[in-house]
Amino acid sequence: MTPVTQGPVTPDVPRPPKIRITDSTLRDGSHAMAHRFTEEQVRGVVHALDSAGVEVIEVTHGDGLGGSSFNYGFSLEEDVKLVAAAVDEAKTAKIAVLLLPGVGTIEDLRQARDAGASVARIATHCTEADVSLQHFAAARDMGMETVGFLMLSHRIGPSDLARQARIMVDGGAQCVYVVDSAGALVLGDAQARVRALVDEIGDQAQVGFHGHQNLSLGIANSVLAVQNGAVQVDGALCALGAGAGNSPTEVLVATFDRLGVPTGVDVQGALAAAEDTVRPLLRRLPFADRGAITQGYAGVYSSFLLHAERAAARYQVPVHEILQRVGEAGYVGGQEDMIIDVALQLASERERDGAALVRPRRPG
């Protein structure tokens, strides 16, 4: 595609394709809210996003349909109730849901569809696209738009990631995302993966990009993704999301507008949605603190941050040390319970090292 250049697009320069923004405030942002969104809050956020012209709004537990559990954290409200409220509030936006095979089921997806959701986003680890096939088939049978999510995309190279995308497209995905779940992709890393997917599936399906701010590169990586052929991009208002948060929707919209990339989203409307609707709800503003930066540096799944913070407080060990060990071990989404084991191991090591320091020396 024609490279994106800063400033307005003049009449004699071909316009870049329209980019579709999917806002994940009410899904990825659920992590940062400890999954405590209320129906009233969902309605308020959907109303603001819909009024600004955002085309797709994602609504579920942070870990997708069926994610409300002891392991991931219990939701305040059932997914299907929040989805129904979002559908009722939206005038033009589509409501999307996320499903991780093994966490959610096809029946969960059917209930979300019956509540009015029209976009099914099926997420797998970047090497496990084959577990999504029955879910894509079911979603297509239900008449839903289908989007594939290849999570922790930094864990494998561009060509291997493209092969996984091919599996999803052959299974019925209409778009496949490069998902930087750890915020670990650094500029050229994101470019290469998006380009590899475009080369592999671009004649049959669209390519998307989902960025996180753990290394503060979510916006830059999203721009590079678009320059390399991505036409769907995710964000969240106020960067509300796991880890240091997602690419902020309002910044994405403003940046793409400056670059002359059409999104169909009103910049001032997006800014108002962030400032007036979401910011007052925030328990904590996502930012790149030591723990979140460690996640990006060590390649740790962003939703592990709050779990690691709770384990650190309970066992009196540093958050960043837990996350560094988790990164070294290569844990993936669904292994949140292993964080306790890491914290216990660190606590045991500290106790042993402390005892060694105070052990009295034998005379002689």
Residues annotated as part of the active site: 31
- For residue 208, list its beta bridge partners: 177, 232
Residue 336 has, within 13 A of its CA and on its CB side, a CA count of 21
Q: How many residues in total does the chain contain?
A: 364
9 sits in which H/E element: none
Which is nearest to 291 in space by CA: 243, 228, 332, 347? 243
**Residue 161 near residue 178 (C-beta atoms within 8 A):** yes
Which is nearest to 22 in space by CA: 59, 47, 48, 51? 59
The owner of tokens 């106790």 is 351
Burial 180-212 (b: 16+ CB within 10 A, else e): bbbbbbeeebbbbbbbbbbebbeeebbbbbbbb
What is the separation of C-alpha 172 from the centre of its chain, rounded to a whole number of angstroms? 21
Phi-psi region of 40 (alpha: psi -120 to 50; beta: other; left: phi over 0): alpha
**Residue 217 near residue 211 (C-beta atoms within 8 A):** yes
Q: What is the C-alpha separation between 151 and 329, in angstroms, rounded?
A: 17
DSSP state of 98: E
Residue 215 has, within 13 A of its CA and on its CB side, a CA count of 20
CB atoms within 10 A of CB 15: 12
Secondary structure of 281-320 in HEC code, one letter for each residue:
HCCCCCCCCHHHHHHHHHCCCCCHHHHHHHHHHHHCCCHH
Q: How far is CA 46 from CA 24, 265, 319, in A?
A: 11, 14, 34
Which two structure tokens, joined as six digits, stand for 45? 């956020």
